[in-house]
Structure 1
Amino acid sequence: MELSQDAYNFSQLVLEEFGAPYRKEEIEKKILNIEEKYKNLEELNPQNNQEKYSLDYEKKFNNIKDEEDKQKELEQIMKGNPYLQAMGCSHDRRKERELFEKPTKEKLDNAEYFKGEGNKAIKEKDYEKAAYFYQKALLQFDYTFPDNNDEQQRFDLLSQQCFVNMSLVKYYQKEYDDSLQNARQALKLNQSNIKALFRIATIHLERDEYDKTEEVIKQMEEIDNNKEVQQLKSQLLQQKSKYQKDEKKVYADMFSKLNKEK
């Protein structure tokens, strides 16, 4: 049985229209185009000189959006593509391996440096930048395994500080779920971390979750019943009282309307 020219042309059209996106050559070409598009991104090249080291990360921060756009474009190619799904993730792990193989002291020093840069950004109220540097600090901990008690103590302290600071940044950005998550990570390292508890209580109060706020405040009072804790408790009582008055007024107005309708 011979295939008619029309049938052949139609089959070719179908292949071109629906098959091309899944072909290895087409996919590789798209990926190369994306790499070419973003080839001018600043390369991260830390130096021993502290000023130069800082400058490189400033440049890196300025290119965050481009990096994110690049990743989004690559992810878009991955989505719903049978060829790439069959091949599996081809993420280059070299950077993670390089970080893992660095000495523990160097990774902790890097985390300390990034934390300091994040603190500067918070003072400048540049919360996006602060979040970037705290994230860089937290990344060091993912690949750090202390070898002795001194390193472990430094690791725990720095981790707590970075989680608490990241929680504060996310609070300022009104990303409350992320703020809670970071505060809870700090509490996993130290259940008595008063700053982490304070942030959690503040978010619960922000969300009018009075019972949860009161529960956390009680925890804080047992640890350190300081001025800030008392101020937060006073704020809770005021908001709770106002809420109860407003609620009572709503019910009173509702019953008043019902009585008038009778």
Structure 2
Amino acid sequence: MAATSAAAYNLAKKLCQEFEKRKKDEKEMNLKHENTIVHAENNKSEISRKVTEIDYGKHEKTVKELDRQEKEQEYQRKATEAAQWCTLDHEHGPNCKRPPTSCSQDHQKEWQIYERSTEEKIAAAERFRQEGNEAYRRRNFGLAAVHYRRALLHFDYTFAETEDLQNQVDAVKLPCLLNLAACKCQQEDWDEVLTQCRQALEINPRAVKAHYRVGLAYLARDEFELAKDALTSAHEIEPSNPDIAAALKQLKKNMEDYKTRRRDVAKEMLSGKEQAPDVAEQATEQPADVSGAETQEVAHSELPPESRETPAAAGLRRRRGSKGAKPAEDDEEDDEVEKRQSTLQCLLVTAVGLGVLSVTALVVSLMST
């Protein structure tokens, strides 16, 4: 005989009463309440609606009857619709409410999978995995991905009761995840690769293929630091794997190419800033006549190499001539200053290219010179 406290008994009694009340309300939810017409005892006392030969009372009754029939048809239509989805044991009608967890899709296949035993689910998933492997060997990566997803679908409805069954589930689920990631690598769907490999690493944190394919995904996205971490982890687990070594070599090459491109861009930016004043000066000093420009260029090319001067030097000479002639000593000092500035600029550009100085430090140095 089971014993309980008075508070628990009162709570159970209250819950039962509420359940009975709710059940009664549900049964009376759609009951039709007909309005009874109370006739007067003395028919003579009723007000007559007959005017001349037309009985308006008769027409009013006809209109009310038509309204009643229309409401009855609407009630029957809603009752028929509610009978298709309402699960309560009562008379269906327009007052039936849809359950909050109702779904319009057919989940019969999912329910069939759920009702199977864990061993049957593992066996079915293994069959789909083998079919996916056959499609992968034929390089039909789309069909292989479908088979691997169907295999993984069984594990969404699998709840292993013992540790031994859980190990069996992981032994089939892990290859399916890794093989699906391999299919997505071939299709270059890197988001899906990361998703499947992340689930695989939750099962086995030392899964080499998962780390390797995560590294490939990040390498394809030029996320070098993340790719380096993943590939290094894979290399630590299997140092002799040639695929991992090739991926690390490709990572190193991509990083060097990226540094080279960044260095070239920095040089182009700096060279564009230095050449802008000279180009503007040449544009203002050169005559508009095309034939004259060609003649000047030809005459300049015919001069001996030691007598040729650069456009910048010619501009400097013209500016000096406009300001007045200076002694030869001043010219030598100016040439020495120009050489030192040119040497300093070359050294600074080389330092930025090698990563010793930043672009900001270079600009400040050039402005100070």
Category of TM-score, reference length = shorter chain: 0.5 to 0.7
Equivalent in the alignment of 2:127: 113
Select the residue among 151, 155, 160 that pairs with 2:174.
160
Partners of 1:176 and 1:218 in 2: CA distance:
19
TM-score by length of 1: 0.65
Counterparts in 2 of 1:203 and 1:85: CA distance versus 1, 3 Å: farther
Q: Which residue of 2 aligns with 1:232?
A: 247
Counterpart in the other structure of 2:117 = 103
Corresponding residue to 1:198 among 204, 212, 224: 212
In structure 2, list runs of 5 or more residues that go unmatched: 1-76, 82-97, 278-369
Whether the 8 Å CA contact 2:209–2:234 is kept in 1: the answer is: no
Greater Rg over alpha carbons, structure: 2
Find the partner of 2:268 among 237, 253, 258. Answer: 253
- Is structure 2 residue 139 aligned with structure 1 residue 133? no
* SS of residue in 1 equivalent to 2:105: coil
Q: What aligned pairs does 1:61-76 form with structure 2 within 5 A after superposition? A: none
2:256 is matched with: 241
Q: Which runs of 5+ in 1 are unaligned?
A: 1-22, 28-83
The match for 1:74 is none
Runs of 4+ in 1 over 3 A off after TM superposition: 84-88, 147-150
Q: Take 2:268 and 2:164, find their aligned partners in 1: how far apart are those partners? A: 64
CA-to-partner distance for each residue in 1:93-150, whole Å, 9 max, x for gaps?
Answer: 3222211111211111111110111111111111111111001000011111223333
In the TM superposition, what are the counterparts of 1:56-95 in structure 2 within 5 Å? Answer: 88-95=102-109
* Residue aligning to 2:192: 178
Separation in 2, partners of 1:231, 1:87: 52
Query: Bigger shift: 205-214 or 250-259?
Result: 250-259
Q: Distance in 1 between matches of 2:247 and 2:255?
A: 12
2:258 and 2:166 map into 1 onto residues whose CA distance is: 46
Deviation at 1:250, TM superposition (A): 1.3
Distance 1:156 1:86 in 2: 35
Do the aligned partners of residues 148 and 204 (structure 1) sit closer, same or farther apart at CA in structure 2, a change above 3 Å counting? same
Q: Assess if the C-alpha contact under 8 Å between 2:126 and 2:172 holds in 1.
A: yes
Aligned to 2:262, the other structure's residue is in SS state helix
Sequence identity of aligned pairs in percent? 32
The structure with higher relative contact order (CA 8 Å, sep 6+) is 1
